[in-house]
Amino acid sequence: MEAKRKIEILSTISLSEEQIKQIQKLDERIKLDVYKSKEVNKISDEIWKKTEILFTSGAYLPPAEKVPNLRWLHSSYAGIETILDSPLLAQPGLLVSNSSGVAVSQMGEYVIMMLLNLGHKLPQMIQAQREKRWVEDKHISLLPKELRGSTVGIVGYGSIGREVARQLYAYGATVLASKRDAMQPEDTGFTPEGLGDPLGNYFHRLYPNEGLKGMLKDCDFVVLALPQTKDTECLFDKEMFEAMKPGAYFVNVSRGQLVDEDALIEALNSGRLAGAALDVFSEEPLPEDSPLWAQPNLIITPHISAFSTKMMNQVVDLFIENLKRYLTNTPLYNLVDLEQGY
């Protein structure tokens, strides 16, 4: 009797014993090799050659000739812009998927936190505390901008934007959103059950990308949640910031390359923007001499919005769910359109 073909899986993402058992139970044909990302140099040529499925952060991708049997690559990251130029991804028939959607809960909470911090002037109050200064004109300089009754614009209505909209619903804010294909409000990507806006119920109006400037003029708060592509790089430049409502607030949880940081500083200094929060930057770590550090109305965080104690388990859970789909010839979640870049 002919032996059953092995399904060779190579993970350069650390897995717990329980996760390894979960994967191995899915199919008796599975052979799983697990290495830490820093141990890729220990992976033998024989293992690379046999690998059919690669679960990786993308920190190292082998040349195509090293993995002739590779059929599916799953990235542990949502954004794959750092590996798009790899010749490996250009191999005919290769399935590429990402982990978009797994961190939407914590990223939604991060955005809400920043909207509240900015609107309620927390940075100014913390600065006054450091100076041991009681703010005498508090009824003027510290007058808050409430979320209730405000208009929040979400630029990019993918998994993150949809979860932000869902969480904003409780605050009574009006949500406007922009999306490349505004004629399809439903979500086709992966989102954990009970989160996000799969049917498109939480926005008040959906704009196509061409209508973005028209949307911005009505927004008290703007949240940037687009993927980084050739089309979105430096999207928020001087012209875009000038299109925003005077005194609005800006939050970026996408990629730093989408924002002209000099134009942002100019908008903050001129008062066009009342404040901003950035979790991502064009250069990371943010250099010590960056003028962004000195902006009093800017909150800076070190690309942390997606992280939580649950994050890596969530990433592995999605890989296991996709592996079930792969084994049953069911379409995978989060298949990447390499031409679009996400």
> Which residues are the active-site residues?
255, 284, 303
C-alpha–C-alpha distance, residues 236 and 244, integer Å: 10
DSSP string, 226-277: PPP-TTTTT-B-HHHHHHSPTTEEEEE-S-GGGB-HHHHHHHHHHTSEEEEE
C-alpha–C-alpha distance, residues 129 and 135, integer Å: 9
Strands 298-300 and 7-11: unpaired
Whole-Å CA distances, 186 to 16, 124, 127, 189, 285: 35, 39, 43, 9, 36
DSSP string, 272-308: SEEEEEES--SSSSPPTT-GGGG-TTEEE--S-TT--
| Structure tokens that stand for 325 in this block | 């789909």
Reduced to 3 states, what is the DSSP secondary structure of residue 126? helix
C-alpha–C-alpha distance, residues 264 and 311, integer Å: 30
If you count DSSP H runs as helices and E runs as strands, how many of each does the chain have, helices first? 10, 12
C-alpha–C-alpha distance, residues 87 and 114, integer Å: 39
Closest CA to 177 of 160, 193, 194, 192: 160
Whole-Å CA distances, 8 to 46, 48, 154: 11, 9, 41
The sign of the dihedral angle between the CA atoms of 208, 209, 213, 218 is positive
Please state, as a whole number, how many other Cβ atoms lie within 10 Å of the Cβ of residue 262.
Answer: 12
Strands 174-179 and 205-208: parallel
